Amino acid sequence: MSTDVIAKLKQMAADPARVWLVGGLTYGELLAETGRLANTLVALGLEKGDRLLVQVEKCEAVLSVYLACLRTGVIFLPVNPGYTVAETEHFLHDAEPALAVTDPGRVNGLRALGARVIDLPGLLALSERQGADFSDPAQGPDDLAAILYTSGTTGRSKGVMLTRENLASNAEALVGLWRFTDRDVLLHVLPVFHTHGLFVATNCVLYSGASMIFQRAFQPAAVLAALPQATVMMGVPTFYTRLLADPGEMGAATAHMRLFISGSAPLSPATHAEWQDRTGHAILERYGMTETNMITSNPYDGARRAGTVGMPLPGVEVRITGPDGKALPQGEAGAIEVRGPNVFQGYWRLPEKTAEEFRDGWFITGDMGAVDARGYLSILGRAKDLVISGGLNVYPAEVEAALDDLPGVAASAVIGVPHPDFGEAVVACLVPDPGEILSETTIRAALRDRLAAFKLPKRVLILDDLPRNAMGKVQKAELRRIYQALFVDL
């Protein structure tokens, strides 16, 4: 069993000078703040196993509320503050939280839905009246720590039940793999309602006794100004592309940095190469999901191979299976399945859906991939994004890689849409680099020597932007919806 998150917090707080937030709390002050908040939750009537919905704009206090939930056994339920009241209604009805913490402007809307609500300033004010000492109840590794809802791009979003051991085992594996120490300073620019910013970033800092520079939103100028004081940054691909758009000298700002990590969406080989050329740093790409925390990572020492997400974390197993569920030989493409202490307990109140997603103890991720001879995993796209054109399988990631290599292409997304002859047709959606003019004819011509004929896009659409979620993932379901009738009149 791994060291529990709160046990690690108390261990780190034993050094009164250890800094949690640069310019803010020490670990000792953090422990005291979480104690006051834990006492407040108990005073408000919350008990172990109750759910606390938290929907607030990113701020330092969210991390303290998360840790206070772990201390009490209350299940932390973060919700994207970008969701409307109507969208939040699903989480209120499905999770039935005992209390919702939100920003002042959302209180009336959530209250009208029948929720018991307090705004975050009000919760913090109540905590100031409480003592810092808190008697933590006994907790087990299989107790629920959090419920995170999936993005819900296809139907209702599902509540992913994560245990204390899920979080602890993943944090310990990542700290060792990525060589975190108490000398590190993480530049935290990610949202805290999502696995990446909430668990990966926060718990890596906590488990190593490191510090963090906490920025409430990603702003390129602010990030560049803070980099000289940091040693590690975690980001999504759009962060890196936006930083590369800055004409300034990146080398000076990043000279003393130890590690840049990217995840939550595929990083293009072109961005990987340009970042290394501009800064001298090879971005470390890893792979994870809400249901599994982190699964694989490129190595700290050794080749960080662009277009791959590396090898399984210690204690985590990955296999590639065919349609019959049997493991495929190395190099063959198929479904990615995973098992290990990082894998979630199941979907909240959806036992049948949970059973569907597991096979012989392995979680079926819904992603397609292949493992090469060196053991590196490549993601070929979501199973639902696989394009079957004329009876042949086309993996969008392969076509996207070819598109991203072309000059003038800033971003690409490949989808399948209904076609009267082929069943599905490959369609490429492209965003040009600033000032570049792309044409469908030249793009298709450039791909002819790179891709087999059946993989060539039947259409190339030049767009101003691609629809993305809060973590930068392209919403292909939305693209398919928009362009589903593209070939209807053929």
Q: Is residue 203 part of a domain?
A: no
Q: Is residue 249 part of a domain?
A: yes
Q: Is residue 186 part of a domain?
A: no
Q: Is residue 135 part of a domain?
A: yes
Domain carrying residue 464: 386-483
**In the prediction, which pLDDT does 335 show?**
96
Q: Is residue 209 part of a domain?
A: no
Could you say which of 356, 382, 408 is where a domain stops?
Answer: 382
Q: Is residue 181 part of a domain?
A: no
- Coil, strand or helix at 91: helix
The single residue listed with the structure tokens 């079957």 is 388
Residues 24 and 154 in one domain: yes
**In the prediction, which pLDDT does 154 show?**
45
Residues 116 and 88 in one domain: yes
Helix (H) / strand (E) element for 208: namely: helix 202-208
Residues 223 and 324 in one domain: yes
Q: Is residue 86 part of a domain?
A: yes
Tokens describing residue 51: 């759910």
Mean pLDDT, the chain cut into blocks of 10 residues (490 residues total) = 96 95 97 98 98 97 98 97 90 97 97 97 98 97 96 71 98 98 98 95 98 96 96 94 85 93 88 94 96 98 94 98 94 96 97 96 96 95 88 88 92 92 92 93 92 92 92 90 86
Residues 344 and 360 in one domain: yes
HSE, CB side, 13 Å, CA atoms: give it for residue 212. Answer: 27
**CATH (domain of 452):** 3.30.300.30
Instruction: Write out pLDDT tens, residues 41-59.
Output: 999 999 999 999 999 999 9
Residues 152 and 254 in one domain: no
Residues 391 and 374 in one domain: no
Residues 311 and 394 in one domain: no
Residues 12 and 125 in one domain: yes
Q: What's the whole-model pTM score?
A: 0.90
As a 3-state breakdown, the chain gives helix, strand, coil percent values, each rounded to 5, of 35, 25, 40
Return the bridge partners of 232, or none.
186, 259
Residues 292/366, Cβ–Cβ less than 8 Å: no
**Summary count for the chain: helices (H), strands (E):** 17, 24
The single residue listed with the structure tokens 């570049």 is 436
Residues 369/379, Cβ–Cβ less than 8 Å: yes
Cα separations in angstroms, 442 against 45, 380, 413, 489:
65, 25, 17, 24
Phi, psi of 268, rounded to the nearest 5 degrees? -75, 145
Residues 346 and 462 in one domain: no
Cα separations in angstroms, 456 against 310, 406, 414, 427, 490:
28, 14, 10, 9, 18
Residues 21 and 169 in one domain: yes
User: Which is nearest to 216 in space by CA: 23, 25, 59, 54?
Assistant: 59
Could you say which of 150, 176, 202 is where a domain stops?
Answer: 176
How many domains in the chain? 3
**CATH (domain of 316):** 3.40.50.12780
